[in-house]
């Protein structure tokens, strides 16, 4: 199979996947498993350190070429940090890093986080000990900035012990 055919096949599969996902999220609310959560974004928090973090690193990994949702996850995360935690951001207690995982100079941080593809990681550092966790929930919220911000703000507040 030539390169153009492979790319075309991947694009077709991506479109079909997106259409299928869209169809699932538009099903009636009779099936709560298939509907998007509507109310409490705090319930999306799965696990949070009980000891307040001394520092939080939010690391957005991406390739050289990014799709809309990959770009948006990074933008929403950074906006949430800057708008909701301006003092912590200015002081360096919360750090945002945008990392192109395709670049060889970023290999060490990609390996540290074990990042694969586009991803968002949160590292709650307490007593110089890393607690690295990939946040996959943000991808479900990428089409709604308000819900994304509420979720991510609550997650960071919990990690800070607020």
How do the domains of the chain map onto residue ranges? 1-35, 41-160
- Flag residues of the chain having pLDDT under 70: 1-50
Q: What is the pLDDT of residue 149?
A: 97
- Enumerate residues 6+ apart whose C-beta is below 8 A from 29: 35
The residues that bridge with 62 in the sheet, in sequence order, are 100
Average pLDDT, the chain: 81
- Enumerate residues 6+ apart whose C-beta is below 8 A from 70: 62, 63, 118
* Residue 6 host element (H or E): helix 3-25
pTM value is 0.69
Superfamily of domain 41-160: Glutaredoxin (3.40.30.10)
Q: What is the pLDDT of residue 128?
A: 92
Edge-to-edge strands, sheet with 132-134: 94-100, 55-62, 119-125, 132-134
Tokens of 38: 């509507």
**CB of 151 closer than 8 Å to CB of 41:** yes
Going by their DSSP bridges, the two strands 94-100 and 119-125 should be labelled as: unpaired
């Amino acid at each position: 199979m030539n390169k153009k055919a492979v790319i075309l096949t991947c694009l077709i599969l991506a479109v079909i996947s997106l259409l299928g996902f869209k169809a699932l999220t538009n099903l009636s609310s009779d099936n709560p498993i298939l509907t998007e959560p509507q109310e409490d974004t705090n319930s999306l928090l799965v696990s949070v350190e009980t000891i307040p973090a001394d520092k939080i690193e939010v690391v957005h990994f991406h390739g050289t070429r990014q799709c809309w949702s990959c770009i948006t996850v990074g933008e929403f995360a950074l906006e949430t940090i800057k708008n909701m935690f301006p003092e912590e951001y200015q002081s360096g207690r919360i750090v945002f890093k945008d990392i192109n995982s395709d670049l060889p100079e970023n290999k060490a941080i990609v390996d540290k986080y074990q990042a694969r593809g586009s991803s968002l990681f949160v590292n709650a550092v307490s007593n110089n000990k890393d607690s690295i966790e990939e946040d996959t929930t943000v991808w479900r919220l990428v089409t709604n900035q308000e819900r994304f911000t509420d979720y991510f703000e609550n997650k960071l507040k919990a990690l800070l012990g607020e």
